[in-house]
A and B are shown apart, each in its own frame.
Chain A
């Protein structure tokens, strides 16, 4: 192990500088016993340290974990540093972070048995220039989530690529103040999913080849529910036609192939200035939570959802819903690009495209009772815009650091 003073960290670590005696760089090289050496480095790191993972393929046998605040884990680049978990024997994820002010950057995590990188109760975490993927064609046996921050305040996912997740590529759950940007989600069941979270900006991403591109969901029975204030903008959401390969039981296993953006049971969601094309079921779908009983403190209806300024290419030409083909026929061959189940209030679509309602205002009604019809969702949205998410300066500095 080589320790050296480092002056590169800059303001990213200003938060922890007070407790840092001397920031060090701990180098870990590829080779024998990578599991032990890398895990020891992550355990022995002190706040302010950089654990620098060298180039090469690290063959890991167990999950790795980091529980020290203010540590940067940095590879030599996503093409250079590969953490290979194909021989993983234990743990539910490849890398688990449970401490605050952590920066993860410039490496690839491959073939984990469960989730790729999970962070729980890890505030101000930065995922930067990472790749998480599963080899081969998308498979049910792939891990669930690629990037999985949960129960955290302030999350930045920037320049991350996830491919092949059997649930969501980039999944942010039960968190607050989130930005997912400049990232790529390809061939996952859900490309990017914001679930049970408050205040999220999802922008300038590419979601393609997934079953569903970007999902904004709220589920019942969780410690944090009532998802709200999410903005999905300036994304490219195209050709999300991969057949659903999620294991049954999971909510995403019900996402129809060909979904662009789905908003379920959130309030104050804005979808604007995105580029949609080639989503065979729908570009934008807005729905209530229709999976049966829910606790009294759960709000299953979508409220104050609006779309504007989106560019809609081809959509609705191959609907993955039950009875979708018949519906499409009734609409002259393809469904309109916007679909609403009819539940909830204040749904406004200012895009210049047709919209469809399933006319199911009561969540207890089965989808088989749908009576699809065109619906005019234009008109004034007389409630305030959702505010932009602003992250602490330390996080933006970390993201801007060379």
Chain B
């Protein structure tokens, strides 16, 4: 481990072309091209060795896109895990996430790279779209749509209008009490190689407790479903998030109640209700608004509202099984209509 750390430390000395442009990260203007930061060495497949790759036990579903995640912290800086298991990043941090799909010819196409930059004034979210030749990516604050063809692991083929979010949409998911905030890198869901773990102070990695949603060996059906909902929904569906007004809160640690959807009537669902009475009708996924909205791609019905043009079949199956396994029962008091 020491050796690996030492390597990280000496990398900048190997040549100035490897340097990440710290001043571009922390500057108040947004670089028009991704190359200005120095995160990639001329191609999306060649991340700078200064980037720390990581994965998530349960990731956010985004139209079956394959995501490559990296952290950059200024040389000599450390990250800090707070008491809630959230990682606090120093000014100058960049969270870098590339989205792409394997191609029919076996190659891999990177469509976009999203940045979260930690400036002195707070976090900034920026979407960069790669040029067709992969030489560089351009800032597109208004987002974009691109036609994408791909196959999922079961071999189902898709041809979709893939949405690169605009800056405001980045914030919609990354918002906490109105400010942009990282949502992925939480200790309990993060898989970080041992050498890089040493860059996080205060972390007890044995407490990383959320299961993998798709691995029954890592947790119960209930725990895996709750982990899935936490990652895919709770960034908005929490009391300080974009869906705070819904009263439906899906954080992993919240005890089951009407607030987590059990016999919870819709408030502003509109046709998203699908004719159903409850977010979760225990025992009955086919009568549950939660599953109905996960199973739709129609804007105005589909949840999440952003970043999903296809149904996540495997995720929906997990939620269906989870709701079906709940004791059916009846609402706590008698139901009546005026």
Contacts and interface: CB of A to CB of B under 8 A. Distances in A.
Interface string A126-147: 0000000000000011111100
Interface string B262-299: 01111111111111111000000000010000000011
B244 A65 contact: no
A176 interface: no
Contacts of B274: 247, 249
A257 to B, nearest CB: 13
Contact of B266 (A141, A166, A250): A250
Given A62-B145, A321-B338, A292 B331 contact: yes
- Which one of B142, B265, B334, B338 has the highest number of Cβ atoms from chain A below 10 Å of its Cβ? B338
A31 to B, nearest CB: 15
Given A89-B145, A91-B305, A150-B245, A249 B265 contact: yes
Interface in B226-285: 239, 242, 244-245, 247, 258-259, 263-278
Given A39-B166, A247-B275, A365 B336 contact: yes
A65 B305 CA distance: 13
B270 A43 contact: no
Interface string A334-363: 000000010000000000000000000001
B332 A293 contact: yes
Contacts of A65: 166, 168-169, 172
9 contacts: A39-B143, A89-B309, A113-B298, A142-B271, A219-B265, A223-B245, A247-B271, A249-B269, A249-B274
B145 A144 contact: no
A173 B244 CA distance: 12
Contact of A249 (B289, B332, B333, B334): B289
- Which one of B142, B172, B175, B272 has the highest number of Cβ atoms from chain A below 10 Å of its Cβ? B142
Given A67-B168, A247-B273, A249-B265, A92 B334 contact: no
A151 interface: yes
B163 interface: yes
Contacts of B188: none
Question: Size band of the B side of the interface?
Answer: 35 or more
Interface string A96-121: 10100000000000001111000011
Contacts of B337: 254, 290-291, 322, 366-367
B270 A250 contact: yes
Contacts of B289: 249
A142 B142 CA distance: 27
B300 interface: yes
B270 A247 contact: yes
Q: Which 3 A-B pairs have the closest CB atoms?
A: A144-B270, A249-B273, A114-B300
Contacts of A322: 337
Contacts of B91: none
A43 B168 contact: yes
A40 B270 contact: no
Interface of B is mostly: loop
B305 A143 contact: no
B273 A250 contact: yes
A333 interface: no
Given A248-B273, A292-B333, A293-B332, A144 B168 contact: no
B266 A120 contact: no
A88 B302 CA distance: 13
A63 B265 CA distance: 26
B265 A251 contact: yes
Given A40-B141, A166-B270, A112 B168 contact: no
B163 A89 contact: yes
B105 interface: no
Contacts of B166: 39, 43, 65
Interface string A262-295: 0000000000000000000000000100111111
Contacts of B269: 144, 247, 249-250
Interface string B139-154: 0111111000000000
B300 to A, nearest CB: 3
Interface residues of A, number: 66
B178 interface: yes
Given A143-B300, A222-B245, A36 B142 contact: yes
A221 interface: yes
B258 A221 contact: yes
A362 to B, nearest CB: 10
Interface string B117-144: 0000000000000000000000011111
B67 interface: no
Given A43-B166, A90-B299, A247-B273, A364 B336 contact: yes
Contacts of B68: none
A90 B300 CA distance: 8
A299 interface: no
A259 to B, nearest CB: 10
Given A90-B306, A91-B299, A151-B245, A293 B333 contact: yes
B182 to A, nearest CB: 18
A44 interface: yes
Given A291-B336, A367-B338, A36 B144 contact: yes
Contacts of B301: 114
Given A61-B145, A140-B271, A250-B266, 18 more contacts: A39-B166, A42-B168, A62-B145, A63-B299, A65-B169, A89-B299, A91-B169, A91-B306, A92-B299, A98-B178, A144-B271, A145-B270, A247-B275, A248-B276, A248-B277, A249-B274, A322-B337, A367-B336
Interface string A235-264: 000000000000111110010000000000
Contacts of A161: none
Contacts of A363: 336
Given A90-B163, A341-B338, A222 B143 contact: no
Nearest to B298: A113
A66 interface: yes
Interface in A56-71: 61-63, 65-67
A394 B245 CA distance: 26
Interface string B317-338: 0000000000000011111111
